[in-house]
A and B are shown apart, each in its own frame.
Chain A
Amino acid sequence: MSDSFFSRGFTGRRREPENAKRVPPGQYITPDFPVLSAGPTQHVPLDQWNFRIEGLVRQPVQWSWQEFNQLPSQTFTVDIHCVTKWSKLDTRWEGVSVDTLLENVEIDPQAGFVTAFSYGGYTTNLPLADLTGGRAFVAYNYAGQPLAPEHGGPARLVVPHLYFWKSAKWVTGLRLMDADRRGFWEALGYHDRGDPWKEERYQGD
């Protein structure tokens, strides 16, 4: 609001200068890995797990856990930013790039948006362009270990350049669509895109 307002007596805890540029406005660095979910943690048995790409593709594709683990994987070291204000630097993941997954389908040119959907019913919406170009992956290892259920294991979507609610836990597929349809938090008032550098936290930001 007013440019001139400041909080009486507040100086704040300054960040290390080398990290300051890596932390978006309103965020603070935590060494922990907080857990945020709207409901109970999902526990998905690996022999029942699958991942599919559907919607505006010529032929939907589906992988079992075993098949998914045979896809070419990469390691990713990224900073993540949660809308609840914490950021975590240099998180280390292993998984499959969404680019690699999409090589297995023929995408309808009408497809511009994606709903990521999860075990337990969680959904989140993203522009397709935010998932391609090496910017998003489906991770199954974190810090060299299988991804824990409370952090979204067996596998979660990771889209590090957007607020972390876009990185759907317990993800089981991507649905390609011609229009943006709001997911779980977006329908409850959170931003459709969620760029932390623009502080797109809530609808209207």
Chain B
Amino acid sequence: MVWQLATVRAVRQETPRVKTITLELPGWSPHRPGQHYDIRLTAPDGYQAQRSYSIASEPERVGEIDLTVEWIENGEVSSYLHDVVALDDRLEVRGPIGGYFVWTAEMGGPLLLVGGGSGVVPLMAMLRHRAAVGSSVPARLLYSSRTPEDVIYAAELERLSRQPGGVEVFHTLTRSQPPGWKGYARRIDRAMLAEVLQPLGMQAQAFICGPTLLVENVADHLVQLGLPPSNIRTERFGPTGGPS
């Protein structure tokens, strides 16, 4: 897989901590939703740093990709992407990478997507793809954010959910909620998962992405609720928060 020089065509602030960078790729090839690209930064003295970022866009968009990047405190690459990168800059990238945490419409469903924070990014690629190809596979997204301001793609998710046969979106806001909030207001737990999973049934294909603890808990709960482990695909990020 070769490195290529992508050009930054757009930068969009999604939330106070999250930006989307649109990259035009000279060697674009269609990805499968859920895959990622590697970014490699090189300093003038040859020092390099690499990180992986999930693709947010659908493969039906030819020639370019969106990468949605959360700003991480002391993040060597994310802080560069947030604070330095500007339009027309070039970035060295390679991809698409990863072949298990992927969903395309022909894989069918029903689809249960569970995301925490920026873990929604690869799930969004799946939902954009689902909409782009007019798939009728039933789909539900359970999306955990801290506050209303932290919800990435809020307006687009709202729009997708209003389309006929659109994805059903369930937000949970764990830290603060707007006045009159009718959605969930706690960390994802088994009762919440049971409610969201129930209409989809045990044939559901589950994709879970988010911080390690959230993914561990959700995957364990779904197994306890009866979903076959082989139907559960996970992508974890971030520290464990403990020495073990």
Nearest Cβ in chain B — how far from A52, in angstroms? 22
Complex contact B237–A34 (CB within 8 A): yes
Q: Collect the chain B residues with CB atoms within 8 Å of residue A40's CB.
A: 219-220, 222-223, 229, 232, 234
A121 vs B229: C-alpha distance when bound (angstroms): 10
Does residue B107 face the partner (Cβ distance < 8 Å to A)? Answer: no
Instruction: Report chain A residues within 8 Å CB of B74.
Output: 13
A143-197 CB contacts (< 8 Å) to partner B: 143, 145, 148, 150-151, 184-185, 187-189
With beta carbons under 8 angstroms apart, the residue of B2, B92, B223 that contacts A7 is B92
User: Mask for A109-150, Cβ within 8 A of B = 1, else 0?
Assistant: 000000000001100000000000000000000110100101
Q: Quick check: B234 and A38 within 8 Å, CB to CB? A: yes
A-B contact count (CB 8 A): 122
The secondary-structure label for the interface of chain B is mixed
State A84–B98 Cα separation when bound (angstroms).
Answer: 11
**Contact residues on B (Cβ < 8 Å of other chain), bracket:** 35 or more
- The residues of A with any CB-CB pair to B shorter than 8 Å are 1-2, 5-14, 25-28, 30, 32-41, 84-85, 120-121, 142-143, 145, 148, 150-151, 184-185, 187-189, 202-205
B-side residues, CB < 8 A to A, are 1-5, 40-44, 47-52, 74, 76, 80, 84, 89-92, 97-101, 212, 216, 219-220, 222-223, 229-230, 232-234, 236-244
Kindly list 5 other residue pairs between chains A and B, CB separation below 8 angstroms, not including A39-B219, A121-B230: A11-B43, A27-B50, A32-B241, A145-B244, A188-B100
